[in-house]
Amino acid sequence: MAITDKNTKHKVNTKEAFRKAFIKKVEEVSGEDFSESTTRHQYEALAELVMEEITAEWAVNNSRLHKMEEKQIYFFSIEFLIGRLLKAYVNNLGWDTMVEETLNELGVDYEALQSEEHDPALGNGGLGRLMACFLDSTAALGFPGHGNGIRYKYGLFEQKIINNEQVEVADIWLKNGYPFEIVKPDKAVVVKYNGDVRVEEVNGKMQFIHENYDPVLAVPYDIPVKGYRNNTVNSLRLWSAKPVEDFDLSTFNQGHFLKAMQRKSEAESISQILYPSDHGFEGKLLRLKQEYFFVCAGLKRIVRRYKKHNHGSMDGFPDKICIHINDTHPALCVPELMRILVDEEGYDWDVAWDMTIKSISFTNHTVLPEALEKWPIDMVQKLLPRVYQIIEEINRRFINDMNWFYPDQVDRNYSMAILKDGQVHMAHLAIIGSHSVNGVAELHSKILREETFRDFYAVFPDRFTSVTNGVTQRRFMMGSNPGLKTLLDDTIGTDWKKPGNMCSLEALLPYAQDAAFCQKLGDIKHANKERLAKYIKETQGIVLNPDSIFDVQVKRIHEYKRQLLNILHVILTYNQLRSNPNADIVPKTYILAGKAAPSYVYAKEVIRLINVVADRVNNDPLVKDKLKVVFVPNFNVSVAEIIYPAAEISEQISTAGKEASGTGNMKFMMNGALTLGTMDGANVEIAEAVGMDNVFTFGLSDTEVYNYNTHGGYRSLEVYESDSRLQEILGQLINGFFGESAGFQMIYDSLLLHNDTYFVLKDFAPYVDIQDIASNVYRDQKQWQKMSTINIAHSGIFSSDRSIEDYEKRVWKVK
């Protein structure tokens, strides 16, 4: 599939050529002699060189794309959490050795140079990062696949910890410019909001005319997505909102200066900020505007390009185009594509509907009810009058069909409506308007089929499928853990690095018994732990013991992810050490990180608790080197790249049935950490892959949780009353143990008064037991490294290359 074009010109493909080009470029950007240049200049110069190289290939790819020889995949997503790009580009170009050696010879610090790149936080967490991994894999495999989203002016906030609490600071990621995007004002399109719909009959056909609307200009910024050592360069297109005229002159001339300004800022507000709530639906008008904004703009360009290629006709569109919608935020693709086909292209409804369903596929990323999008009908109707009419018609026909086919199931039919209870149910719209609906891990897909979307599954069984998530090993292992990459190359050869070939890491299995290999693996882990310890010392002033177990839980802070369970166990260990400072425990460092949505008060309390406990434990001389707790502030992609390679225990302890998949679990695994987790999300598949002897599992199963939730029978107070450890710990949360002002009544109440929704107390004893088991295994380093090797050897299926290949076969059928 890879595009091989002999004409692609490589300007700097030798060390000498690169050295010359780099020095010249640094002097151009700085206006100074190379010897006077700053790290910033050097970063800008390398970024420019990389872009020059990539854009040459990009042009070849784009002209190929215009010819539409292959089916194109478009990922519509409200988030793309891409992380820093410079090093990824360098590696994908195959320039890594050349660049590293040359910079070294020139006395340039490559790590410092990379840190000049502001990590663009254009996503909250799993959903947005998955898209970035998928773009990387799609390009690596040579498939034409592109992203379509929003170019937020402010990404996710920067998290600071002040007085143990999360404080949010604006993330001004564009402050120094961004070298990897190309703005294309000539490809800007108009997005229409509000106004009225007038109906006219033209030649016996109804025409729907949207008038008196508020226009907003969508301007595309394209970021190249370079495939790993091939000639594929795809695009991530992010839209920025601008007023149609930079200034509303007529209003201004009438003396209404403020009003003219207001129009401008109203338009710009659409792409101003990424909503920081992960798994929480707020129903704000601005968010609805954002959703329609990138859907409308993205579809317009795709349709324009398709028609240009197809002599002005939309016939055959689904054979050449896949519109993949990442959760329900882009679900307006369904009525918008219908609007284009029916209103603008004149197709009959049934033909247009068939084309729409064939073009669109949908992935669900959560079963948490609070994340389900339901827009008030009047809001949609006012903001998007014509789109709303189309939703109404889709709903009417759907309910009619259901009542025709299942006349005795009127209640069920109505429960599946898109419009009900005064709301537009976006998940229903997405399912009804797609040919494929999938969950992101086997267990999650099962829950979708049997619970969340059970009624839809009964009606459309063939639409439902499952594709387990994956992550790009190129960023999260080869790039961030070069020591491990080299060890693997030296041990089993380099074939495993070929895109789509990571399963050949299984060749490593015999080495699980090889003492010399295991020793080397342990040494690499130790070096990575030292690197993380250095980072934490420099940024937080906390000294870690790299000989202790590094036990890590890094992810968004959410009740269902149960960081609370982790910290309660830390308090238990602390209590044990206080009563017996000489207890024979394996020294352990608990590392936690993650952001809480600014309005999620409970999650912020959990952050405060972690930090308060860390303060207390780390400053207690009794504890010595046996226990440390660190909360690393501002968890983002670049911090993650330092943390994963250093981890030994991967904490994946969500309440079973709640974590759709998880992807951190995969990143840890491919770096040799052992999973300590519940049988939830993709943990189940990790356990299956490595065998139960090579993971530490504990806790309620999803069925047990389901049964408690549906039939009752759980009383957290009973658990508390029968466990003296819990009595002591929960007492400490409210009795001033952590300082007069450091009470945690809200957490205490959630566990005892509100019956512990996420089964933290219920899973506490099994969690403590499995932690003890893990510590004991760690005493036997041979055994630990063996397990670690087995985990790495089986991590190939969790490459996003495999996910993309699965999507290709099950959903898009590009080939």
Among 589, 661, 750, 803, binds ligand OAK (CB under 6 A): 661
Rounded CA-CA distance 178/174 in Å is 6
Q: How far is the CB of 366 from ligand OAK (least distance, A)?
A: 4
SS3 of residue 12 by DSSP: coil
Residues 453-492 that bind ligand OAK (CB under 6 A): 469
Q: Note the Cα 237 to chain centre separation in Å.
A: 17
- Among the listed ranges 225-233, 235-243, 287-295, 364-372, the one in contact with ligand OAK (CB under 6 A) is 364-372
Please report, in angstroms and rounded to a whole number, the separation of the first and last CA atoms in the chain.
Answer: 9
- 662 sits near ligand OAK (criterion: CB under 6 A): yes
Q: Classify residue 701 as exposed, middle or buried by CB count within 10 Å of its CB (0-12, 13-18, 19+).
A: middle
Among 144, 227, 681, 699, binds ligand OAK (CB under 6 A): 681
Rounded CA-CA distance 391/27 in Å is 57
Q: How far is the CB of 31 from ligand OAK (least distance, A)?
A: 44
- Among the listed ranges 338-346, 402-410, 609-617, 655-663, the one in contact with ligand OAK (CB under 6 A) is 655-663
Residues 514-543 that bind ligand OAK (CB under 6 A): none
Q: Nearest-5° angle of CA 347, CA 349, CA 350?
A: 105
Rounded CA-CA distance 340/328 in Å is 20
Q: Nearest-CA neighbor of 801 among 272, 327, 136?
A: 136
Taking the least distance from each CB to ligand OAK, the nearer of 335 and 470 is: 470
Contact in structure between 39 and 113 (CB atoms under 8 Å) = yes
Total of residues contacting ligand OAK (CB under 6 A): 18
Among 26, 37, 53, 125, binds ligand OAK (CB under 6 A): 125
Q: How far is the CB of 381 from ligand OAK (least distance, A)?
A: 24
Measured N-to-C along each axis, helices 601-618 and 745-752 cross at an angle, to the nearest 10 degrees, of 110
Q: How far is CA 768 from CA 202, 575, 691, 763, 775, in A?
A: 73, 13, 22, 9, 11
Taking the least distance from each CB to ligand OAK, the nearer of 661 and 771 is: 661
Out of 555, 569, 604, 762, the active site residue is 555
Q: How far is the CB of 642 from ligand OAK (least distance, A)?
A: 21
The residues pairing with 324 across neighbouring beta strands, listed in sequence order, are 75, 361
Out of 151, 628, 667, 794, the active site residue is 667
- Among the listed ranges 149-157, 236-244, 365-373, 395-403, the one in contact with ligand OAK (CB under 6 A) is 365-373
Taking the least distance from each CB to ligand OAK, the nearer of 243 and 439 is: 439
Residue with tokens 């309005």: 599
Taking the least distance from each CB to ligand OAK, the nearer of 433 and 439 is: 439
Contact in structure between 241 and 152 (CB atoms under 8 Å) = no
Rounded CA-CA distance 503/496 in Å is 7
- Among the listed ranges 282-290, 426-434, 659-667, 757-765, the one in contact with ligand OAK (CB under 6 A) is 659-667
Active-site residue flag, 561:
yes
Question: Per-residue contact track with ligand OAK, 69 to 108, x per CB under 6 A?
Answer: ----------------------------------------
Q: What is the dihedral of CA 453, 459, 462, 466, to 10 degrees?
A: 10
- 657 sits near ligand OAK (criterion: CB under 6 A): no
- 438 sits near ligand OAK (criterion: CB under 6 A): no
- 365 sits near ligand OAK (criterion: CB under 6 A): yes
Q: Which residues contact 215 (CB under 8 A, 6 or more apart)?
A: 190, 191, 192, 193, 244
Token digits of residue 586: 């394996």
SS3 labels along 414-425: HHCCCEECCEEE
- 440 sits near ligand OAK (criterion: CB under 6 A): yes
Taking the least distance from each CB to ligand OAK, the nearer of 447 and 524 is: 447
Among 181, 651, 659, 702, binds ligand OAK (CB under 6 A): 659
- Among the listed ranges 13-21, 105-113, 447-455, 661-669, the one in contact with ligand OAK (CB under 6 A) is 661-669
Active-site residue flag, 454:
no
- Among the listed ranges 126-134, 285-293, 640-648, 757-765, the one in contact with ligand OAK (CB under 6 A) is 126-134
Among 126, 144, 243, 657, binds ligand OAK (CB under 6 A): 126
Taking the least distance from each CB to ligand OAK, the nearer of 120 and 657 is: 657
Taking the least distance from each CB to ligand OAK, the nearer of 369 and 461 is: 369
- 371 sits near ligand OAK (criterion: CB under 6 A): yes
Among 26, 81, 88, 130, binds ligand OAK (CB under 6 A): 130
- 796 sits near ligand OAK (criterion: CB under 6 A): no
- 366 sits near ligand OAK (criterion: CB under 6 A): yes
- Among the listed ranges 455-463, 580-588, 657-665, 778-786, the one in contact with ligand OAK (CB under 6 A) is 657-665
Out of 87, 324, 365, 794, the active site residue is 365
Rounded CA-CA distance 238/610 in Å is 37
CA atoms within 13 A on the CB side of 491: 24
SS3 labels along 688-756: HHHCHHHCEECCCCHHHHHHHHHHCCCCHHHHHHCCHHHHHHHHHHHCCCCCCCCCCHHHHHHHHCCCC
Out of 25, 153, 339, 561, the active site residue is 561
Taking the least distance from each CB to ligand OAK, the nearer of 279 and 616 is: 279
Q: What b-and-e string marks burial along 769-798, b requiring 16 or more CB atoms within 10 Å of the CB?
A: ebbeebbeebeeeeebbbbbbbbbbbbbbb
SS3 of residue 258 by DSSP: helix
Rounded CA-CA distance 775/414 in Å is 53
Out of 329, 425, 556, 558, the active site residue is 556
Taking the least distance from each CB to ligand OAK, the nearer of 469 and 553 is: 469
Contact in structure between 628 and 544 (CB atoms under 8 Å) = yes
The residues pairing with 237 across neighbouring beta strands, listed in sequence order, are 148, 222
Q: How far is the CB of 128 from ligand OAK (least distance, A)?
A: 7
Q: How far is the CB of 454 from ligand OAK (least distance, A)?
A: 19
Pairing state between β 464-466 and 436-439: parallel
**Other CB atoms within 10 Å distance of the CB of residue 488:** 23
Q: How far is the CB of 277 from ligand OAK (least distance, A)?
A: 8
Tally DSSP H helices, then E strands, for the chain: 33, 23
Question: Per-residue contact track with ligand OAK, 389 to 428, x per CB under 6 A?
Answer: ----------------------------------------
Rounded CA-CA distance 619/175 in Å is 38
Taking the least distance from each CB to ligand OAK, the nearer of 37 and 366 is: 366
- 702 sits near ligand OAK (criterion: CB under 6 A): no
Q: How far is CA 357 from CA 76, 165, 318, 353, 801, in A?
A: 15, 47, 9, 6, 26
Question: Per-residue contact track with ligand OAK, 314 to 333, x per CB under 6 A?
Answer: -------------x------
User: What one-character DSSP code corresponds to residue 671?
Assistant: T
468 residue type, one letter: T
Taking the least distance from each CB to ligand OAK, the nearer of 232 and 678 is: 678
Rounded CA-CA distance 732/724 in Å is 12
Residue with tokens 């387990």: 468
The residues pairing with 438 across neighbouring beta strands, listed in sequence order, are 363, 465
- 127 sits near ligand OAK (criterion: CB under 6 A): yes
Taking the least distance from each CB to ligand OAK, the nearer of 37 and 795 is: 795
Residues 259-278 that bind ligand OAK (CB under 6 A): 278
- Among the listed ranges 35-43, 52-60, 422-430, 660-668, the one in contact with ligand OAK (CB under 6 A) is 660-668
- 663 sits near ligand OAK (criterion: CB under 6 A): yes
Active-site residue flag, 365:
yes
Active-site residue flag, 4:
no
Catalytic residues: 365, 555-556, 561, 663, 667
What are the residues binding ligand OAK (CB under 6 A)? 125-127, 130, 278-279, 327, 365-366, 371, 440, 469, 659-663, 681
